[in-house]
Structures are given as C-alpha cells and as structure tokens.
Amino acid sequence: MLIHHVPVVAALLAATGVAALPKKTQQSMGKHRVTSIELGPRPYYLVDNMEEGWLKDRLDSCAETAMRPTKFSISHRGGACLQFPEETVESIMAGTRMGAGIQECDVAFTKDRQFVCRHDQCDLHTTTNIVATELGAKCTKPFAPAANGTAASAKCCTSDLTLAEFKTLCGKMDGFNASATTPEAFLHGTPGWRTDLYATCGTVLAHKEFIALVDGLGLDFTPELKAPAVPMPFEGGDYTFEAYAQQLVDEYRGAGIDFARVYPQSFQFAAVQYWLRREPEFARQAVLLDESGDKGGLEAAVANLTLYKDAGVNIVAPPLPYLVALDGKTGEIVPSSYAREAKRLGLKIITWSLERSGPIAAIHKAGQKGSPDYYYSTFFNATTRDGDIYKLVDVLARQVGVMGIFSDWSATVTYYANCMGFLS
Ligand SMILES: *[C@@H]1O[C@H](CO)[C@@H](O)[C@H](O)[C@H]1NC(C)=O
Ligand SMILES: *[C@@H]1O[C@H](CO)[C@@H](O)[C@H](O)[C@H]1NC(C)=O
Ligand SMILES: *[C@@H]1O[C@H](CO)[C@@H](O)[C@H](O)[C@H]1NC(C)=O
Ligand SMILES: *[C@@H]1O[C@H](CO)[C@@H](O)[C@H](O)[C@H]1NC(C)=O
C-alpha cells in the first residue's frame, strides 16, 4: 500500500546533483503484522539502574516474560525517535516492534491539500534533507548561511510542496547546525544522546499511507491535527480551518476505519469543538492536548478542565509535569492538583512525552546550573537517574491513572505495562 513515486524521485535527484542522504530504495516494511514483540536492552538497562526497592524487584521479575503490544504504550512520532527519524515508516515499524498499541501521525497539509505526517507544518528544514535538494528553493525561507554572527536559518513548510514533491524527501533526525555555511552542513545537529545510525533516508509518508500501514499492522491510530502555520483559509480559497478538521475525519471514513480505533488529537480546542459538533462519533475519543498551564500557570489549566468537560471532551492530554507534584513532607512524586481534578471530573488522561529529553542524569547535572528540562521541571529533585523513569511511570499509571503514555522509545512503557498488567 505504500506508494512510491520512484520516477519522480529519480528525476529530482538527478536534477539536483545534491546527495546529502542516499536516495530512496523500494520500501519493504509494513507488509505483514508484527507478532513477536521485542523490547531490546533499554528496559532492562533502566530496571538495573533503579534504586533498590519493591518496584525494582517487581519489574526485574518480568525480565524473561514474553511481551504483548498494548494501547497503554503510545508511540510518539512513530515511537522510536530516540534513534529513528520521527514520523517515518522506519520509526513506526520500530515503535510497533517495541509494542506500541497506538500509532501517532502528526498531520499537516501540503500545497495540494494532501495530509502528510510531520510534527510541524514548518519543520521540513530540521526533519528532512530539503535544504540540500532542489526543493529547498521552494521553502518559505530558503537556506541562509551563518554569517557575521547570525545563525544559519531556513523555514520549510509542508504547504510549500505538493505531496509528490514531499514524498521525494528523506526523513532525518530532528536538528540543524546553526553555524552551517552550506546547506549540507545545515543538516547536522543531532543531539549526542540520539544517533544517526538509522538516519540514512527515513521514508516520509502521507497520512493515507499511515492509515494503510497501521491498519495493516492491526493497531489503533492517534492522528494529531496540527495548528495551521499559514492563515486560513489557505491561499485565500475555500480551505478553511473547518475544512481542514473535516478532512481528517474523511480520511478515516474513506479508508473504512472503525472510529473506535481512532484517537484524534489537537491542541486546537476549536478543532475538538468542531468534531464534537459535526462528527460526534469521531469526537468520542478525541484527545484535547492541553498546554494552557504554560501561559496561565497550572491553576488556570486546572480551572479549564471544567470547561472541557462541559464541552463534551472525554480525554485530556497534558504534558507530564502537569500531572505530578512533589509531596512537601516526603519529597515523593505524587499526583498533582491537575490530575486530581481531571479524575474528579471523570476525564480520562493521556500524557506526553516520556524519554523526550535524553538521559536524566545529564538533565539533572545541567539543571543544577539553573535550567531544569521542561519535562522534568516539577519533579526535578525526585529524578536523578535514568531508572527513575519507572518511578515516574508507576505514579502516572497507578496513582494518576492515565490511560496511556506517549514515549519516544515505546519499549520502556510496553515493558512496564506488561509487567504491571496495564494491557489493553
Ligand atoms: C558580513 O559582513 C561583511 C563586512 O561587513 C559584509 O561584506 C558581508 O556582506 C556580510 N555578509 C552577510 C551575509 O551579511
Ligand atoms: C556546522 O557547520 C560548520 C560550518 O559549515 C562546520 O564547520 C561544522 O563542522 C558543522 N558541524 C557539524 C556537526 O556538522
Ligand atoms: C485555558 O487557560 C488559558 C490560560 O492559561 C486561557 O488563555 C485559555 O483561554 C483557557 N481556555 C481554553 C479553552 O484553553
Ligand atoms: C532542588 O533542590 C534544591 C535543594 O533543596 C533546591 O535549591 C532547588 O531549587 C531544587 N531544584 C528544583 C528544580 O526544584
């Protein structure tokens, strides 16, 4: 089902004469279901790294248990972006192999209004090789080299390209080289705790291809409708925000997917409201992504929960730090006021994103100098080593009662879920 515009790819590559990344080869992944779940060494490394106690003993006791996929383990941008280019077939396949039961595609639109998987409508310059191809000339802001103390820059949006053009790009690890004086040098910038080992030419995909791939794998879907990065209606035509929100519904309906397998997400309350009003069946499992506390503070976010509940929202998805706090007396990680209020209102909770920021020990060291990482800020002093990830997951699972956790490395949550019985 994965359509490749091979002649187009070949023609473009020949024309550009730039080969920053190898050209695409025919895709052979995703042709069969994944039945053998393999978690690799990371969960075992994390358990070994935990402090002594009942949780470590319990998790250690599952070391030789056969693992199953679970919806508690939600892929973030494919579920393997610690090592694989995000939002690519390769990341999805690796996340699937690591037991993610729900697969994510962040949805952005192209110039010809086709949906593709990209975390941001305008991140092609950091997540693909576009600046080093002929298509770089079509970018909203083409590559500009570093000069006279000004950082190198570019801004390339999915809406700058047609779907056929987008499909010729290679997915790479997110990052860029601010000192680059050439487009090729701009492609570098992968953090040291990620790797370029599998970033040879990630297979980018249309949302329709994502649906076909994930359907074939027998998994559930969590597409995120991204905020448009251009004024809507797009190019002054009839492509309104509502038409954009409707298109997501139409792509699942058109593919004959049971809406019970779809968890559509958006930070845009207007999108969720649109689905609630026009497509109530699709909206039943809509996930309202909530970062309102970033601006207004956690109290404001807590207050907003009633509003969401009254509007008919069933699932909210705040970032990890909204859900936990440190107990003043014991210093233990405990559910936050946000978590307690969501529970009181009967809202279900999904959270993001585990393993987004690299080794905890390194974050901790840097944080001592006054800049704790976003995802670890509120429980900073309660997490000092990588094994503490499981301490956090355990609070989220058993005390906060989340229905799932997004992770950049699905194996970590899959292992916990299998061991502790969070299987669905
Ligand atoms: C950098 O500064 C030099 C000297 O002022 C100038 O000639 C050159 O055009 C500048 N380069 C860019 C890219 O702005
Ligand atoms: C970043 O670009 C500069 C200037 O082109 C180059 O010297 C440097 O090696 C590049 N860094 C990486 C990691 O490629
Ligand atoms: C939620 O809270 C923020 C303040 O943080 C506010 O700006 C926003 O309008 C509220 N409502 C919604 C629907 O997000
Ligand atoms: C961690 O604890 C130290 C010592 O109590 C305190 O000074 C620091 O502010 C705490 N850091 C964070 C990020 O909470």
**Quick one: pLDDT at residue 17?**
39
Give this prediction's pTM: 0.92
Task: Indicate which residue's Cα is closest to atom 14 of ligand 3.
Answer: 292
**Quick one: pLDDT at residue 2?**
44
Residue 124 has pLDDT above 60, yes or no: yes
In a domain, 153, yes or no: no
In a domain, 371, yes or no: yes
* Ligand with minimal distance to 371 CA: 4
Residue 356 to residue 359: CA distance in whole angstroms? 9
Percentage of residues of the chain with pLDDT beyond 70 = 93
Percentage of residues of the chain with pLDDT beyond 90 = 87
In angstroms, what is the C-alpha Rg of the chain? Answer: 21
Task: Indicate which residue's Cα is closest to atom 3 of ligand 1.
Answer: 148
Atom of ligand 1 at shortest distance to CA of 148?
A: 1
**Quick one: pLDDT at residue 8?**
38
pLDDT in tens, 231-242: 999 999 999 999
Residue 22 has pLDDT above 90, yes or no: no
Residue 415 has pLDDT above 70, yes or no: yes
**Quick one: pLDDT at residue 14?**
38
**Quick one: pLDDT at residue 15?**
39
CB atoms near residue 282 (< 10 Å): 20
Whether 241 lines ligand 4, by a CB cut-off of 6 Å, is no
In a domain, 270, yes or no: yes
Residue 337 to residue 130: CA distance in whole angstroms? 44
* Ligand with minimal distance to 326 CA: 4
**Quick one: pLDDT at residue 29?**
53
In a domain, 316, yes or no: yes
* Ligand with minimal distance to 377 CA: 4
pLDDT in tens, 140-171: 999 999 999 999 999 999 999 999 999 999 99
In a domain, 243, yes or no: yes
Task: Indicate which residue's Cα is closest to atom 13 of ligand 1.
Answer: 147
Average pLDDT over every residue of 81-105:
98
In a domain, 8, yes or no: no
Range of the domain at 392: 40-125+196-420
Whether 372 lines ligand 4, by a CB cut-off of 6 Å, is yes
Which CATH number does the domain housing residue 385 bear? Answer: 3.20.20.190
Of the two residues 21 and 358, the one the predictor is more confident about is 358
Residue 275 has pLDDT above 50, yes or no: yes
In a domain, 175, yes or no: no
In a domain, 177, yes or no: no
* Cα 184 to middle of ligand 2, angstroms: 9
Domain count, the chain: 1
Mean pLDDT rounded to a whole number for the chain: 93
**Quick one: pLDDT at residue 274?**
98
Whether 147 lines ligand 1, by a CB cut-off of 6 Å, is yes
* Cα 149 to middle of ligand 1, angstroms: 10
Residue 64 to residue 150: CA distance in whole angstroms? 53
CB atoms near residue 68 (< 10 Å): 13
**Quick one: pLDDT at residue 371?**
72
* The pairing of beta strand 100-109 with beta strand 70-75: parallel
